[in-house]
Amino acid sequence: MGDVQTREQTAVFHDGLVSIVSPAWNEAPTMPEFLRRIRAALDGVAAKVEIIIVVPSPEDPTAGVARANGAQVIYQKRPGYGGALKEGLLAAKGEYVVTMDADLSHPPESIPDILCHRGDAEIIIGSRWIEGGSADMSAFRFMLSKILNAIYRRALAVPVLDMSSGFRVYHRRILEQLDLESEKYDILEEILVKCYSLGWRVAEVPFDYQPRIAGESHASAIGFAPHFLLTLVRLWSMRNTFDSADYDSRAYDSLVPPQRYWQRKRYDLLKEMSGRAARKLDIGCGSGRFIQSEPETVGLDIALPKLRFLRRTNPKLVRATCSSLPFADASFDVVVNSQLIEHVPYDREIFREMNRVLEPGGTLVVGTPDYGRLVWRITEAIYKFVLPYGYGDDHITHYTRFRLLEELAAAGFATLGYRYVGGGELIVKCIKREEL
């Protein structure tokens, strides 16, 4: 029992640095109490704390008050809340970065509650809208926030209820990968969606949003609406490219009926052909539902964001290329290679490697479009038109059924049978011959 740590114990930072970043504009009246409450809340929780206040100009009295109370002050070079937040994040040196408003609507006393969840995800959001959270605000702002979050959550397929909350904890390393464009409050959605699309985890922790104790809010729903709309369109385009970490997973539940049918039919055939096996490998697993449904299967892919995303369901993940598998001979009873070989340059070593890692008599399931079929060429043309950000333009090696079966035979496989998805996508089941 002595080795068990409670949630409260894990909140303590014995070493390392916690950064607090707060854009502040005309917040001089609240600044002394804001800084005092931060230090009180983190006393005994974080050994080292830096507080960074970002102000628009030296003329803002917030700067002098913040500096007099021991905070680091930087002046923003780019306009708007987004510009201030980007510069604050860039200046932060802590392993964990807390972002919050300086008007005390984000209670500093809630910081330890959010920090103690740092092991659950790379972004931890102080949320008004999950169970246990609340918001003391006008009915108009309440309704507007709910609508905005619902639209963004649905359109961008990010499972977060409070996407517009600026009260967050970030693992600093994930921020270094971002190229941020937004200059207004829509930067909050941009950061969240881009991080989620890179496969990073997001968790929500409830908190009670408080009314500001002085001054007026700088957020204008009418003024910022165009920015939110443009950001929504830009992020939607990004979310619907195959580079997005969860693209394969979301396709299974696509709102486009043909795509949903295709994904589910493929899933059914892969499950049927691969069967049950204690040692199974999925090469080019992506973030699809097949690998997610088999937590004991080893997933291999070259795309790091997709492997990050799969951490939620699959503990056995390997990053490698399909032409040089990092496994010993005869390591697996079943190997699945679905929708991969058309995405990589032709290399006979790909087929030899699959043979090498299979037990003699083991099963190989390979799927790829059959470019010998007119139905596939028509289907691909339609697919490119309907989903221009999808996989269509990434097919660089075109197989026909006859060519694929020849390659499999040359690599030491005996074909047992094949099936089609939609009359165009070929899935072949074969076994490794005992002797070449």
Given a cut of 80, whether residue 214 has pLDDT beyond it is: no
Residues 58 and 143 in one domain: yes
pLDDT tens, residue by residue, 69-109: 999 999 999 889 999 999 999 999 999 999 999 999 999 99
301 within some domain: yes
197 within some domain: yes
Confidence of residue 268 (pLDDT cuts 50, 70, 90): very high
Residues 293 and 412 in one domain: yes
Structure confidence at residue 15 (pLDDT): 56
Structure confidence at residue 381 (pLDDT): 87
What's the CATH number where 211 sits? 3.90.550.10
179 within some domain: yes
Structure confidence at residue 243 (pLDDT): 86
Q: Residue 48's domain spans which residues?
A: 9-239
Residues 55 and 203 in one domain: yes
What's the CATH number where 285 sits? 3.40.50.150
pLDDT tens, residue by residue, 377-429: 998 888 777 766 656 568 999 999 999 999 999 999 999 999 999 999 999 99
190 within some domain: yes
Sheet holding 280-283, edge to edge: 317-319, 298-301, 280-283, 332-338, 358-369, 425-432, 413-421
Residues 129 and 160 in one domain: yes
4 within some domain: no
Confidence of residue 2 (pLDDT cuts 50, 70, 90): very low
Q: Could you say which of 189, 212, 239 is where a domain stops?
A: 239
Confidence of residue 7 (pLDDT cuts 50, 70, 90): very low
41 within some domain: yes
Buried residues in 353-381 as b, exposed as e (16+ CB within 10 A): bbbbbbbeebbbbbbbbbbbbeebeebbe
Residues 15 and 33 in one domain: yes
2 within some domain: no
Residues 147 and 220 in one domain: yes
pLDDT tens, residue by residue, 310-325: 999 999 999 999 999 9
Confidence of residue 6 (pLDDT cuts 50, 70, 90): very low
Structure confidence at residue 1 (pLDDT): 31
Given a cut of 60, whether residue 58 has pLDDT beyond it is: yes
Q: Which of 111-115, 230-234, 338-342 has the weakest average pLDDT?
A: 230-234
Residues 229 and 271 in one domain: no
Q: Could you say which of 239, 263, 291 is where a domain stops?
A: 239
The type of residue at 333 is: D
Residues 71 and 144 in one domain: yes
Residues 181 and 219 in one domain: yes
Structure confidence at residue 241 (pLDDT): 83
The mean pLDDT value for 208-217 works out to 74
Residues 222 and 354 in one domain: no
Find the length of the chain. Answer: 436
Give pairs for 262-269: CB < 8 Å, separation 24+: 262/421, 262/422, 262/425, 263/288, 263/289, 265/421, 265/422, 266/290, 266/338, 266/339, 266/367, 266/421, 266/425, 266/427, 267/293, 269/367, 269/419, 269/421, 269/427
Number of domains in the chain: 2
Mean pLDDT of the chain: 90
218 within some domain: yes
Residues 219 and 254 in one domain: no
Q: Could you say which of 239, 255, 285 is where a domain stops?
A: 239
Residues 232 and 251 in one domain: no
Confidence of residue 5 (pLDDT cuts 50, 70, 90): very low
Structure confidence at residue 435 (pLDDT): 63
Given a cut of 90, whether residue 430 has pLDDT beyond it is: yes
Cβ–Cβ < 8 Å for 241, 392: no
